[in-house]
Amino acid sequence: MKIATWNVNSLKVRLPQVLDWLAAQQPDVLALQETKLTDDAFPVEAIREAGYHCVYSGQKTYNGVAILARHELLDPLTDIDGLDDPQRRILAATVDGVRVINLYVVNGSEVGSEKYAYKLDWLGKVTGFIAGEMKRHEKLVVLGDFNIAPEDRDVHDPEAWHEKILCSTPEREALKKILDLGLSDCFRRFEQPEQSFSWWDYRAAGFRRNLGLRIDLILSSPALTETCTACIIDVEPRRLERPSDHAPVVAEFVS
């Protein structure tokens, strides 16, 4: 089973790239973030023609998450207990016996800001939700744009980013609490090239100079972790004309 995540930064703009990528890579599951589409505008038909089912939770202009899958998507969920949030950042569904939790984690803007406090609060509530889901589902993945670089080796310039947004200690501790539920960062289970990143700022030629961060993650529950055979970042779509600022991340599991 091939499970992927991709922050597309507008599905309206990126739909052709997504369809091309689906055809080339044939993932079983693709979680999307920053679709930036209301549900009435979601391209259900084009995705169906590509051979995928979909569930989605969107809003105008900002945020928005979706899951595309070869098999049927069961028990979709868009809101969690104790988090009354108009921002569409969470989408869970079950595919082929695997609970898939797609997250577009709050960016947080700047350490110490109001948005930063919201990010940490949001992460705490989502951690509680994941804990509950793990009790109900042995095979589970939490994936998406975490907007947190787990370690300094996930940062092109750790000194420049020291205690900055996406890298601060409280953010990393919040991520660790999620990992401490028993989840594993699939990417780090395998040998990887140094300077592996999943996001590069559009500004200052970030991608050309590989000034990136690894903030897009696939976390797996123990039952899935032991079946994980590969995890890679596919940088090719980032090279395209008019790319997303994020690259897809792909994990493979054997059954």
Partner DNA sequence: ATGGTTGCGGAGCAA
Contacting residues toward DNA, per CB under 7 A: 9-10, 12-13, 36, 60-62, 106-107, 109, 115, 201-204, 242
Q: Report the residue number, 48 or 60, with the smaller CB distance to DNA.
A: 60
- Residues 167 and 155: their CA atoms lie apart, in Å, by 8
- Residues 242 and 240: their CA atoms lie apart, in Å, by 6
Q: Report the residue number, 135 or 203, with the smaller CB distance to DNA.
A: 203
- Determine whether the annotation assigns residue 63 to a binding site: no
Which one of the listed residues 145, 154, 185, 216 is annotated catalytic? 145
Q: How many residues does the chain have?
A: 255
- Determine whether the annotation assigns residue 34 to a binding site: yes
CB 78 within 8 A of CB 90: yes
- Residues 197 and 210: their CA atoms lie apart, in Å, by 8
Q: Report the residue number, 9 or 220, with the smaller CB distance to DNA.
A: 9
162 as an active site residue: the answer is no
39 as an active site residue: the answer is no
Q: Report the residue number, 79 or 201, with the smaller CB distance to DNA.
A: 201
Instruction: Work out how close the CB of 101 gets to DNA at its nearest, in angstroms, rounded to a whole number.
Output: 19
- Residues 129 and 108: their CA atoms lie apart, in Å, by 20
> Exposed, middle or buried, 194 (CB in 10 Å: 0-12/13-18/19+)?
exposed
Instruction: Work out how close the CB of 153 gets to DNA at its nearest, in angstroms, rounded to a whole number.
Output: 22
- Determine whether the annotation assigns residue 246 to a binding site: yes
- Determine whether the annotation assigns residue 147 to a binding site: yes
79 as an active site residue: the answer is no
Which one of the listed residues 104, 116, 154, 216 is annotated catalytic? 104
Of the candidates 156, 175, 171, 152, the one whose C-alpha atom is nearest the C-alpha of residue 111 is: 171
Summarize the annotated binding site as residue ranges: 7, 34, 145, 147, 245-246
Active site residues: 104, 145, 246
